[in-house]
Amino acid sequence: MEIRKLINARWFATAFAVLSLTLAACSGDKDTASNGTSPAPADQQVLRLRLQGEPKTIDPHLSNQTTETTITRPLFAGLFTYNEKLDVVPNLAKEMPTVANGGISPDGTTYTVKLKEGAKWSDGKALTAQDFVYSMQRAMDPQLAGPYASFFYSIAGAGPYNTALGTPEQPKAPSAAELASLRGGLGVSAKDAGTVVYKLTQPNPSFLNLLALWTAFPVRQDVVEKNGAKWTEAETHVGNGPFVLSEWRHDEKMVLTPNPNWIGEKPKLQRIEINFIADDFAAYQAYQAGELDVVTVPPAAIKEVTQAGHPYNDQLTVEPDLATGALFLNNKVAPLDNEKVRQAFGTAIDRKAFTDGLLQGGGVPTTSWIPPGMPGYNADLGKQYNFDAAKAKDLLKQAGYADGKGLPKVTFIMVNSDTNKLTGQFIQAQLKQNLGVDVEFEYVEGREYGRRFTTGDYVATIQGFSADWPYPDNWLPDMFTTGAGNNLVGFSNATFDDLMGKAAAETDNAKRLKLYDDAQKLMLDRAGIVPLYNRVTYVLTKPWVKNLTITGLDGYIKGDLYFDKAFIAGK
Amino acid sequence: MAAYTIKRLLWLGLTLVFISLVTFVLMHSVKGGPWDEEGRSVPPSQIENLNRKYGLDQPLWRQYTTFLQNTVQGDLGLSFQRQDRPVTEIILAGFKVTAVLGLLAFALAATGGVTLGVYSALHRNRLPDYGSVFVATLGAAVPAFVIGILLKSVFAVELGWFATFGWDTRDGFIPGWLPRWDQLVLPVVTLAALPAAYIARITRASLLDVLQQDYMRTARAKGLGAGTVLFRHGMRNAAIPILTVSGPILAALVTGSFIVEQVFEVPGVGRAFVDSVSDRDYGMIMGTTLFYAFVIVLANLVVDISYAFVDPRVRLK
């Protein structure tokens, strides 16, 4: 599960942006627009992109940040992927498994997936079902400690194997033989060279979404075992995606080139350069100077590029992300354990002022948790929290704190950055002005924030959450079920837990979505979380970049699901 | 002399041990560890696995002694956050970039600073003097990141003369050492601005002082040419204070280009050092701190020893 940084800013980011904007105010664009649509010659098929610094890993089983997963997508291919509408579609799988074609057992616990014939690794070796077996065993290996492993606990034996070494409180020391037996007992097997079989402990209708996740991408056993952690270096890397890693100049850039053994349509791009540029505004300037072909617009420049008549109007794509930003109010800590107080907070914030003023259009107001653009979105949920100061005050009165009198101090924690301070000041002012409540903001350093937030050692914070896959089971059970791993707000409700249990076992999609909808409504009515906005990404693409499809599921680099289709024309 | 050097080297070792201990204690007393990622809850079993992998499950004293043992053998361990690359490898790769950048900036600062200073001194209290004092003051007063962003916005974004980012030594004009020229100019100028201003000020003051000396008047009186007077008699004497500050300036440039590395995305060791702290990359924090300490302590030692050669009155014991 991934909760991305809402706003990331280096200490001088603001100064940087202000200075650069002032200087850039009179700038004109140097690009010449072109309408050519037939691909340019091979030597011009170069796409220049930006990543926010060096990825910590590109091993699919260890990746968890969007800056990491975005690199795994062109380099590896799983059994399934997403189409532009974000439906799961076969990638290396021959077809979609269904109950009708025998791919899914009638009880929903066995998935039999046939591989496309002729699939190969980038070095030409045949890709077999055994590679998927090894890869899932590796992904669940407790010694590898992959961050996404727990998502796959519905596979038989995955939980016991992945937790075989115990916890700090209760460490276990299994013997090598015990570990090997747990590994062998994992519910993944190769029926033959072209068929992988997954056995689940209970039906999981989102299982194909999981198989489309980077954690389920295959890695090459002999390469990994021979090179250890260095197997992801360009010199030793072997993948199975449309591109291969031909250079990784550490702290500088990566270069991807087409994989000659890719079984899909051959990519037209001959070279993808991924430059590591830490600062958002520096990347924007590099785009202005014509050194990058695609860039995400930093908040400070959104107003400029969206102005009518700005030369970038035609290069701009506004993409709603599958992401929601919200107030995380710790349901277990006074006074926020009182649901009326949470509801009062939720009603006291002018979301439109937040998205228009503070985010400069980098978000749209929402009161609902699951974002638009994916199943489970319901615009009508949480409507009672639409900004209404009088109602908010009344709710606070009902909670026993008329005019905020006697309300214990609420302290928000946030990562120390200039942008977060602006966010903090905004929320502080709203709650003061509309509710008469003084809240405090404490700005702490990133890792300290991480520790406090993930261990529940906080009263309130503001966080964004973005989808790993487009289905409500990524948004509700793990975050709001009593005692669940990522229940960071401490929400607890027996009816909700019951609905989650029912939804997990329900195989009919419509009924399942209804159960999730009921649960989401319940959670929002109780103000388990206070949604504020859905994130919107502004992406600039040079006119000569064609066919680069941007979706709400993209990782850090926009278009990462479709590099194999993109090309350069009319440059 | 030999005894002195040996004594100083022993002290160097002790200093480094002390610094490593302080760093180690500070690093572990700061809240938040390497696996506390913002907004992600990693299951305890996973954290335990990671701790075991990197030896963080051992008692602190054992972790420290292990670190010392390995360091003595020249092994600074692995980076926690960078594909398990050896810390030594990351530092050396970054330092090569930082050192080249620093040396170039030093060369520019020295020539530019001295030229400006001499020019200023020769036109004392006239317009050119005020002009160069203004430039020098500007260079000293404006922070490097402002200068960097300013230069970048004007010369790279607006005029398109230079690249806005990067230090690509693979395809550079001296492959392996120098990047493309369009990536080279702005970072070097930005980094050189402050020391150039400083050197200009020192040069001006020092030369003004020398110009008023009796021997200068004598030199002029005996009919020597203006150039000879200035360079043979003036600058030679005026150079001593400049040389004195040059050592520390060079050391500062070679270890202190972090801001410039950030603004122009130069993959130097300064950036790696700062990132390691916010990443809680324990291996990198210890390695880079020790490395910097080593460079600085060694530079001081070299300066102290060189005094004995420069000035015979200094007796080293």
| Percent of chain A residues topping a pLDDT of 90 | 73
Partners of residue B187 in chain A, C-beta under 8 Å: none
- Window from A167-176, A439-448, A450-459, B96-105 with minimum mean pLDDT: A167-176
Element (H or E) spanning A112, and its range? Answer: strand A110-114
* Per-residue pLDDT tens over the stretch A225-270: 999 888 999 999 999 999 999 999 988 999 999 999 999 999 999 9
Partners of residue A228 in chain B, C-beta under 8 Å: 84
- Window from A392-401, B40-49, B288-297 with minimum mean pLDDT: B40-49
Reply yes or no on whether the pLDDT at B207 is more than 70: yes
Q: Give the pLDDT of residue A89.
A: 96
Q: Give the pLDDT of residue A221.
A: 97
Instruction: Give the DSSP per-residue string, A209-245.
Output: HHHTSGGGS---HHHHHHHGGGGGSTTT----SSEEE
Contact of B154 with chain A, judged by CB distance below 8 Å, is answered with yes
* Per-residue pLDDT tens over the stretch A347-367: 999 999 999 988 888 899 999
Residue length of chain A:
571
Q: Give the pLDDT of residue A99.
A: 92
Q: Which of B83, B146, B170 lies at the smallest CB-CB distance from A229?
A: B83
Nearest chain A residue to B179, by CA: A252
Distance CA(B73)–CA(B43), nearest Å, equals 35
Q: Give the pLDDT of residue A167.
A: 64
Q: Do A195 and A60 touch, CB atoms closer than 8 A?
A: no
Distance CA(B296)–CA(A416), nearest Å, equals 31
Query: Which residues numbered 257-316 in A keep a CB inside 8 Å of some CB on B?
Result: 275-279, 282, 285-286, 288-291
Q: Do A516 and A503 touch, CB atoms closer than 8 A?
A: yes
Query: Which residues numbered 5-24 in A keep a CB inside 8 Å of some CB on B?
Result: 5, 10, 12, 15-16, 19-20, 23-24
Q: Give the pLDDT of residue A77.
A: 96
Distance CA(A407)–CA(A334), nearest Å, equals 9
pLDDT band at B133 (very low <50, low <70, confident <90, very high): confident
Give the count of Cβ contacts less than 8 A between chain A and B: 190
pLDDT, greater one: A346 or B9 = A346
- Residue A175 CB neighbours (<10 A): 8
| Residues forming a β-bridge with A99 | none
Give the neighbor-by-neighbor strand order of the sheet with A188-192. A110-114, A195-199, A188-192
Q: How many CA atoms lie within 13 A of B182 on its CB side?
A: 13
Burial class (CB in 10 A: 0-12, 13-18, 19+), A267: buried
CA distance B155 to chain A (A): 10
Q: Give the pLDDT of residue B164.
A: 94
| Residues forming a β-bridge with A111 | A104, A198
pLDDT band at B58 (very low <50, low <70, confident <90, very high): confident
Q: Which of B32, B40, B278 lies at the smallest CB-CB distance from A64?
A: B40
Nearest chain A residue to B155, by CA: A289
Partners of residue A447 in chain B, C-beta under 8 Å: 31-34, 36-38, 278-280
Q: Give the pLDDT of residue A174.
A: 86
Interchain proximity A56–B83, CB inside 8 Å:
yes
Instruction: Give the DSSP per-residue string, B18-72.
Output: HHHHHHHHHHHHSSS-TT--TT----HHHHHHHHHHTTTTS-HHHHHHHHHHHHH
The top-scoring range by mean pLDDT among A112-126, A557-571, B297-311 is A112-126
**Model-level ipTM above the cut of 0.85:** no
CA distance B182 to chain A (A): 12
Q: Give the pLDDT of residue A5.
A: 37
Mean pLDDT, rounded, for A214-219: 97
Interchain proximity A145–B263, CB inside 8 Å:
no
Interchain proximity B149–A20, CB inside 8 Å:
yes
pLDDT, chain A, mean: 90
Mean pLDDT, rounded, for B4-28: 90
Reply yes or no on whether the pLDDT at B61 is more than 70: yes
| Percent of chain B residues topping a pLDDT of 90 | 34
* Per-residue pLDDT tens over the stretch A271-287: 999 999 988 899 999 99
CA distance B187 to chain A (A): 14
Contact of A230 with chain B, judged by CB distance below 8 Å, is answered with yes
Mean pLDDT, rounded, for A210-236: 95
Query: Which residues numbered 215-274 in B keep a CB inside 8 Å of some CB on A?
Result: 262-263, 265, 267, 271-272
Contact of B140 with chain A, judged by CB distance below 8 Å, is answered with no
- Window from A72-81, A106-115, A330-339, A448-457 with minimum mean pLDDT: A448-457
For β-strands A243-249 and A460-466, DSSP reports them as unpaired
Nearest-10 crossing angle of helices B144-151, A13-24: 30
Cα–Cα nearest to A423, from A365, A463, A382: A463
Reply yes or no on whether the pLDDT at B83 is more than 80: no
Q: What's the pTM?
A: 0.85
* Per-residue pLDDT tens over the stretch A149-203: 888 999 999 999 988 887 656 778 888 999 999 999 999 999 999 999 999 998 8
Nearest chain A residue to B171, by CA: A249
Q: Give the pLDDT of residue A172.
A: 81
Mean pLDDT, rounded, for B284-312: 79
Q: Give the pLDDT of residue A26.
A: 41
Nearest chain A residue to B41, by CA: A454
pLDDT band at B316 (very low <50, low <70, confident <90, very high): low
Interchain proximity A276–B265, CB inside 8 Å:
yes
Q: Which of A27, A171, A285 lies at the smallest CB-CB distance from B164?
A: A285
Mean pLDDT, rounded, for B124-137: 88
Query: Which residues numbered 419-448 in A keep a CB inside 8 Å of some CB on B?
Result: 445-448
Q: Give the pLDDT of residue A25.
A: 44
Reply yes or no on whether the pLDDT at A4 is more than 50: no
Contact of A165 with chain B, judged by CB distance below 8 Å, is answered with yes
Q: Do B164 and B152 touch, CB atoms closer than 8 A?
A: yes
Q: Give the pLDDT of residue B278.
A: 80
Q: Give the pLDDT of residue A14.
A: 45
Distance CA(A100)–CA(A38), nearest Å, equals 42
Contact of A163 with chain B, judged by CB distance below 8 Å, is answered with yes
pLDDT band at B317 (very low <50, low <70, confident <90, very high): low
Contact of B168 with chain A, judged by CB distance below 8 Å, is answered with yes
